[in-house]
Amino acid sequence: MEFKLISKDTQSGARCGEIKTDHGVIHTPIFMPVGTVGSVKGIYHRDLKEDIKAEIILGNTYHLYLRPGLDTLRKAGGLHRFESWDRPILTDSGGFQVFSLSPIRKLTPDGCRFSSHIDGSKHIFTPENNMDTQRIIGADIVMAFDECCPGDATYDYALKSLKLTQGWLERCIRRFDETEPLYGYSQALFPIIQGCVYPDLRRAAVEHAAALDREGYAIGGLAVGEPTEKMYEMLEIVCPLLPHDKPRYLMGVGTPANLLEAIERGIDMFDCVMPTRNGRNGMLFTWNGIMNMRNQKWSQDFTELDPCGTSFVDHTYTKSYVRHLFIAGEIFAGQIASEHNLAFYLDLVRQARAHIQAGDFKAWKDSVMPRITSRL
């Protein structure tokens, strides 16, 4: 994997670049649709490529390990072939899922024991078998195994958690570097910067991870219960300390406003289930603001979903029609909304990239923020 920094905004930390992988080029800043179990929920791959213009999607190690399982994925030739996706894939290590399963998991220096949410069966992730698992899944970019520390953790807990994550990271790297990719293309390993909302822990995490000199770096443990202002504060601490010639990935974030604020602070890569999950529940993000499609006000509105949008969905279906589908309980409603939201997110980061290159990102961002955050 190679990263090329192309342009940097002079008024902020925003930057744009290119990540080259064996499955294609990723233009940053980029938003990555989440395909947890090998599918971006409700979206055809054709539409991901042609309409949404996704350059990379995610898979989740925890879920894919449990189902369909490693034997199936290995026999299929890896996740790319299994799900018929020929562009880049990134896999989360499952650390966040382990965090969310706190009642049915136990952390030890060796790894994490957990119970399957599917059938209650017992399993263990260690840094070593987690790397082996991600080799079998075969993503272009894989994450180190970490503990996702709660956003409201005490300092003592966050310190203990960070030390655990750092020890696991060193073991992940040793295992990753002593093994080879299984399917004839290269893979890159990103450390995850933890440390909760404590500046000294975040600095220590960056110093430790940067010294290990990997192809890119992820920032985890944000948008997990801490105030939004704290998330931005941590980014302002972490980003200037990370290598400028490596991509920076903010995990699990977030709203359109979060994306622009984080881009301004130097983030290159994002993922979040919000566009599809909120879409299935009737929330649409548009260039004119946020719409709840179940509201009565849209029942007689025969205008396009988003006249400023670039997706064919925006100019094919009216607000009245989409509201009708939601009220009628039609599955098609969630599909339209999910596709629209993903197209909007990808359009948002493309516009950000264009304005970084034009040299007016800060002014553009300040001008669009009131519109995209308003409730219609």
Annotated active-site residue in 9, 47, 51, 92: 92
Tell me whether strands 30-32 and 269-271 are parallel, antiparallel or unpaired: parallel
What sign does the dihedral 262-271-86-280 (CA atoms) show? negative
Q: Which residues touch 72 (CB under 8 Å, ≥6 apart)?
A: 82
CA pair distance 60, 47, nearest whole angstrom: 21
Annotated active-site residue in 51, 271, 306, 314: 271
How many residues are given for the chain? 376
> What b/e sequence results for 37-64 when a residue is b if at least 16 CB atoms lie within 10 Å of its CB, and e otherwise?
ebebbbbebebbeebbbbbbbbbbbbbb
Is 366 catalytic? The answer is: no
Angle (CA) 36 39 41, round 5°: 90
Is 271 catalytic? The answer is: yes
What does the radius of gyration of the chain's CA atoms come to, in whole angstroms? Answer: 20
171 backbone dihedrals φ, ψ, rounded to 5°? -70, -40
Other Cβ atoms within 10 Å of 369 Cβ, number: 14
The amino acid present at 15, given as its one-letter code, is R
Helix residue ranges, H only, 147-301: 155-177, 199-210, 228-238, 256-264, 274-280
Q: Which residues touch 301 (CB under 8 Å, ≥6 apart)?
A: 318, 319, 320, 323
100 backbone dihedrals φ, ψ, rounded to 5°? -75, -15
- Cα distances from 89 to residues 79, 209, 235, 300, 318, in angstroms, run 8, 22, 25, 41, 33
Residue for token pair 């553009």: 364
Angle (CA) 109 58 128, round 5°: 25
Q: Which residues touch 45 (CB under 8 Å, ≥6 apart)?
A: 83, 84, 85
Question: Catalytic residue positions?
Answer: 92, 271
